[in-house]
A and B are shown apart, each in its own frame.
Chain A
Amino acid sequence: MRWELDPSPSPRKVLLTYALFLGLALLGLGLLFLLYGVPPLKAYALLLSPLTDTLGLAEVMRRTIPLLLIGAGLALAFRIGFFNIGAEGQLLMGAVGAAYVALFLPPGLWSLPLMFLLGGSLGALWAGLAAWLRVRFGVNEILTTLMQNYLVYYLVVYLVAGPWKGQMVFGFLYTDRFPPEAQLPRLGDTLVHWPTLVLGMVAALGLQVLLFRTPLGFEWRILGENPEAARYLGLKGGRLILLSALVSGFLAGLAGVGEVAGIHLRLLEPAQISLGYGFTAILAAWLARGRPLGVLLTAPLLGLILAGGDALKLSLSMPFRVVDVAAGLLLLSFIGAEALSRRRLVWRR
């Protein structure tokens, strides 16, 4: 008895496999809720509760923005074979860039564009460093981007506790409030900073077109699907990887700008800026199966889980780690279903 590749699984089989794995993931999550001492059904209801009112929906949308921006870039990077898992750090770099412009340059009409430009560039630089190390020295980017997350984390702590600590705040670890020119407009009373939302949608669409309608996208796809063939065709793999890393880092940087300029209006402790967007966006990108446009669907879905996690945290005083659990289980169920649906069981050796 063994597994064999199934070249053309029927849609019914694919659907059943995904349903099976999703069920298993929900079962696992329910088990953990039980172990924690909460009835699973009540927890699930809370997880979905943001869907029931406008305030909750705004919360979902607010969480969707960074996931959209980061996820679109990661979908591209993953497709090319650059496993950028440092979006968390690149986001923080973007926040640092935005804070620098907001706090230390004279405010004006140029403030916001300049914040996006510097924040995005710092994010790109941070991802580009990992890509350069991979291309030049053969260093696995999963480990470097991960280590870089810790490096920026401490950089931000240093900045908000040290040289950039606000003149007006006492005892708290954050900078002064950004001037009005450096704040992003929001939708009504919500925390939805809409210019960033628009940027995210444009990014997803733009990258989809770039990837599937341009010569560069064609080279990218060849490199991602068959590095051997790419080498045979004389494609400059290093340059292509570097470019995809820069794009994904830039977008993660923009997400960081959005968080500080649209929500917190200051630079603050790193754990409060990101709320795990970098990791959750990996999931959004993976669920989108390497299609940047697919993130328009998966980002809101994960935004719902993040917002639902908030509801769990508030009404059951559950640690925020519950989101990590849900994300991990979802990711496992998804890759498991993908793998299983492409295989069939054969009763011979």
Chain B
Amino acid sequence: MEEALLRAVLFGTPLLLACLGALLSERGGVVNLGVEGMMALSALVAFAVGLKVHPALGVLAGMGVGSLLGLFLGVFAVSLRANQFVAGLALAALGLGASGLLGKRYEGTPLPNPLPEGMLAVLALILALGLHLLLSRTRFGLYLRSVGENPKAADLFGVSVDGVRYLALALGGGMIGLAGAYLSLAYRPSWTDGMTAGLGWVAIALVILAAWQPLRAILGAYLFGLLFFLQFRLQGSVPIPSEAFAAMPYLLVILVLALSGRARAPKALGQPFDRGR
């Protein structure tokens, strides 16, 4: 029982971190569908730096790469006002592709001194609480929410809509990068192509399940963590093919989305902001 809960938390941690990162930018009105690719690339860079320099620096590198990719998405989604969904998808492909290409030389190399998972799990919890406070108690949180709900009004009050969105993408990207670093430096201290295994997509769905609330994201992430654990544990002990278990999380995401489909999203979500339109 205790083991189940521990594994649930440890598996839920990358989901939580990636979910928080996507949630942050979505509260500001920007959809980030690039999470999977951002996680993959930051996992690779974190691993490379962790292997050659130090795992702690790897974490920072992973977060830095995540932030940069967030800003890169911002160029298209915020400045150019391109279709956010397509830009995110392209970023996902780019990140997955680049990590698979550049990571080939690290495939099969173990990390001699991995980071403790527990420490990062606690950090993720603190970040969730911090994000909750940031959104509900600070001026930046207020700006961010107003930019996500009604960018025109925010603009009239002198808030830089684009600036706030860039900042949210950079901060959120950092958290997504941390999720990637957790995977390659702590959870499974190694690098393999496709090691993110759809976690990024699940994290995006989790944002909807969490109704854009960081505290609810904690529960959602751990719930998924528990389900992943049960899937792993039940395999082989019941007469159900293992593929059915492997497909379970994705089926669950669809079910969860169907149940919470009409949850209230930030009003300006997915819409580029153009002054004077």
Cβ–Cβ contact A150 & B80, under 8 A = no
Question: Which of A138, A328, A329 gathers the greatest number of chain B CB atoms within 10 Å?
Answer: A328
**B residues less than 8 Å from A137 (CB atoms):** 257-259, 261-262
User: Range of interface residues on chain B?
Assistant: 35 or more
**A residues less than 8 Å from B261 (CB atoms):** 133, 137-140
- CA of A319 to CA of B101 in the docked complex: distance in angstroms? 6
**A residues less than 8 Å from B198 (CB atoms):** 150
**B residues less than 8 Å from A180 (CB atoms):** none
User: Range of interface residues on chain A?
Assistant: 35 or more
Cβ of B44 to closest chain A Cβ, rounded Å: 11
Would you call B83 an interface residue if the criterion is a C-beta within 8 Å of the partner chain's C-beta atoms? Answer: yes
A44-52, A191-199, A240-248, A331-339: which lies at the B interface?
Answer: A331-339
* CB-CB contacts below 8 Å: B126-155 with A: none
Would you call A279 an interface residue if the criterion is a C-beta within 8 Å of the partner chain's C-beta atoms? Answer: yes
Would you call B91 an interface residue if the criterion is a C-beta within 8 Å of the partner chain's C-beta atoms? Answer: yes
Cβ of B178 to closest chain A Cβ, rounded Å: 23
A96-104, A141-149, A293-301: which lies at the B interface?
Answer: A141-149
The number of A-B residue pairs with CB atoms under 8 Å apart is: 144
Chain B minimum-CB-distance residue to A4: B276
Cβ of B274 to closest chain A Cβ, rounded Å: 7
Cβ–Cβ contact B243 & A325, under 8 A = no
Cβ–Cβ contact A332 & B94, under 8 A = yes
Query: Of A147, A148, A154, A286, which contacts B243 at CB under 8 A?
Result: A154
B6-14, B182-190, B201-209, B220-228: which lies at the A interface?
Answer: B201-209
Given contacts A147-B253, A319-B100, A332-B76, contact A140 B94 (CB under 8 A): no
Given contacts A158-B241, A336-B76, contact A143 B85 (CB under 8 A): no
Cβ–Cβ contact A339 & B82, under 8 A = yes
- CA of A198 to CA of B14 in the docked complex: distance in angstroms? 47
Would you call B218 an interface residue if the criterion is a C-beta within 8 Å of the partner chain's C-beta atoms? Answer: no
Chain A minimum-CB-distance residue to B275: A2
Chain B minimum-CB-distance residue to A156: B243
Query: Of B79, B254, B275, which contacts A144 at CB under 8 A?
Result: B254
Contact with A along B11-53 (1 / 0, CB 8 A): 0000000000000000000000100010000000000000000
Would you call B244 an interface residue if the criterion is a C-beta within 8 Å of the partner chain's C-beta atoms? Answer: yes
Cβ–Cβ contact B102 & A36, under 8 A = yes
Given contacts A332-B76, A335-B87, A336-B82, contact A143 B205 (CB under 8 A): yes
Contact with A along B72-104 (1 / 0, CB 8 A): 000110011111011101111111111111101
Cβ–Cβ contact B254 & A148, under 8 A = yes
**A residues less than 8 Å from B250 (CB atoms):** 147-148, 150-151
Cβ–Cβ contact B201 & A331, under 8 A = no
Query: Of A32, A83, A157, A331, which contacts B102 at CB under 8 A?
Result: A32
Cβ of A229 to closest chain B Cβ, rounded Å: 17
* CB-CB contacts below 8 Å: A295-349 with B: 318-319, 321-329, 331-332, 335-336, 338-340, 343
- CA of A142 to CA of B85 in the docked complex: distance in angstroms? 9
Cβ–Cβ contact A339 & B90, under 8 A = no
Cβ–Cβ contact A147 & B201, under 8 A = yes
**B residues less than 8 Å from A148 (CB atoms):** 250, 254
- CA of A343 to CA of B146 in the docked complex: distance in angstroms? 26
Chain B minimum-CB-distance residue to A326: B97
Given contacts A324-B96, A332-B90, contact A154 B33 (CB under 8 A): no
Cβ of A133 to closest chain B Cβ, rounded Å: 6
Cβ of A20 to closest chain B Cβ, rounded Å: 12
Would you call A230 an interface residue if the criterion is a C-beta within 8 Å of the partner chain's C-beta atoms? Answer: no
A36-B101, A146-B201 known, 12 other contacts, Cβ within 8 Å = A3-B81, A32-B101, A35-B102, A137-B262, A140-B208, A143-B205, A286-B86, A321-B100, A325-B94, A331-B86, A332-B76, A343-B80
A residues lining the B interface (CB < 8 Å): 2-5, 32, 35-36, 83, 85, 133, 137-140, 142-144, 146-148, 150-151, 153-155, 157-158, 161-162, 279, 282, 286, 318-319, 321-329, 331-332, 335-336, 338-340, 343
8 contacts between A and B (CB under 8 A): A3-B274, A147-B250, A158-B241, A319-B101, A327-B93, A328-B97, A335-B82, A336-B80
3 tightest CB-CB pairs across the interface, nearest first? A324-B97, A328-B94, A321-B100
